Amino acid sequence: MGWVWWMVTAVLLLLAESATATLACVMAAAAAAVAAVLAALGLPLAGQIPVFMGVSVGLIVFLRPAVMRHQSRPGLRTGVAALVGSDALVTSRVDAHAGRIRLSGQIWTARAYDPEAVFEPGAVVHVLEIDGATALVI
């Protein structure tokens, strides 16, 4: 029955992690899950506690810093920010006021970033910025 308490502990630690987002509680939750498995296999409590503590400390000291470094790396862009820097195909004439492009498989409204530039259908343009639902291209 000791494995149930370890699983309850793991769930509570995961709930605490959702409030803190420090990754320390999730590491301890993983250690509690390991202790639960060992409890289910019959390891006595005197062996479960040192395993829980060792796995917790090990994960926090060795794995957490690497995960934190990975999460703080710049460069992961999502949504429309991921489209900036892409090339697109002009589907209808693009000038400073209007136009259409095929960007990432979808048709987008577009304007030329340079007010004097004009791009004819079939030209390949570069997306410099996204303004609302309009791509600014060069």
Mean pLDDT (whole number) for 75-100: 89
128 token code pair = 């410099």
The CATH class of the 79-137 domain is mainly beta
Q: Are strands 134-137 and 106-112 parallel, antiparallel or unpaired?
A: parallel
For 56-86, the pLDDT digits (tens) are 999 999 999 988 887 766 666 778 888 999 9
Site of tokens 């060069």:
138
Q: Please state, rounded to an integer, the average pLDDT across all residues of the chain.
A: 92
For the entire predicted model, the pTM comes to 0.54
Q: How many other CB atoms are there within 10 angstroms of residue 33's CB atom?
A: 20
Which residues does residue 117 pair with via DSSP β-bridges, in sequence order? none
The domain segmentation of the chain, as residue ranges, is: 2-71, 79-137
Task: Kindly state the DSSP code that residue 44 receives in the 8-state scheme.
Answer: -
Residue 16, classified by CB atoms within 10 Å of its CB into exposed (0-12), middle (13-18) or buried (19+), is middle
φ and ψ at residue 85, rounded to 5 degrees: 95, -5
Q: What is the pLDDT of residue 20?
A: 85
